[in-house]
Structure 1
Amino acid sequence: MLMNAPAILNEILQALKDLYEKGEEHIIYINKLPLTEEDRIAILDTLGEGQVRIRLDSKTQPAEWRETGINGVWIGVFFDRDNKPILETIEITIFPRLASSQEEDIEESIKLLEERLKVLFQREP
């Protein structure tokens, strides 16, 4: 029985319009909503399957995003250390924010690359 799928799909549609018109991103925490199995199937079937999959391999909190057949709509799943899903999202965005490089990671990468270049140039005659 469909209970909340139509409302969620309409929320996604409005969020997609807001992303296009205003550049506003939106996240729906789907595992926090009372969804029936039929709701989940209807949402996934309506959104379809896209071509892009992103995997964040982290020992503490691995995550995966996959773009749906609707550009700009991503399904995100965050896992615990035992690889069990702990958070599921639908993100309406150009690219999932948590999958992109974080500022502190870039800062650390600058230092790492500088060190590697020092070692590389010290070897050259």
Structure 2
Amino acid sequence: MNAPAILHEILQALKDFYNKGERHVIYINKLPLTEEDKHVILDVLRDGQVKISFKSATQKVEWRETGISGVWIGVFFDRDEKPILETIEITDFPMLAACQREDIEEAIKTLEDRLSSLV
């Protein structure tokens, strides 16, 4: 059973994030985990209250914070909405879900255009 080792890794990563600000990602589907391991991990972490969905023309990703603040489970889907990558992220907010600098630049232009059409 590999679940205890993963849970200890999460605990250490959570301590490192708290003390040093270091974010950590565990690629779940790259590890030799059984279905029982996954159930144990989910039972220990439990469900949180926040869910984030990211949808683009080429990719869909969903994150949900677990019942342990700062521990997020992410699932990346292909075009057919089949899971292709599963992660556990130890962070305050999943970085891919955060607004990217290029998106903000485009948003400024969009809002300026919209405001100029009001005048």
TM-score strictly above 0.5 = yes
What TM-score do the two structures reach when normalised by structure 1? 0.94
**What code does the residue aligned with 1:31 have?**
N
State the secondary structure of the residue aligned to 1:120.
coil
Matched, 1:112 2:110: yes
Q: What's the offset of the Cα at 1:59? A: 1.9
Larger Rg: 1
Q: What's the offset of the Cα at 1:16? A: 0.2
RMSD: 0.6
* Corresponding residue number in structure 2 for 1:77: 75
What TM-score do the two structures reach when normalised by structure 2? 0.98
State the secondary structure of the residue aligned to 2:116.
helix
Give CA deviations for 1:55-81 in whole Å, capped at 9, x if unaligned: 012120110000000000000001001
Q: What's the offset of the Cα at 1:32? A: 0.5
Instruction: List alignment gaps of at least 5 residues for structure 1.
Output: none
Query: Matched residue pairs, number?
Result: 119
- Give structure 1 regions of 4+ aligned residues with deviation exceeding 2 angstroms: none
Instruction: List alignment gaps of at least 5 residues for structure 2.
Output: none
Superposition pairs for residues 1-125 of structure 1, below 5 Å?
3-121=1-119
Give CA deviations for 1:19-55 in whole Å, capped at 9, x if unaligned: 1001110000000001001000000000000000000
Structure 1 CA distance for aligned equivalents of residues 31 and 59 of structure 2: 22
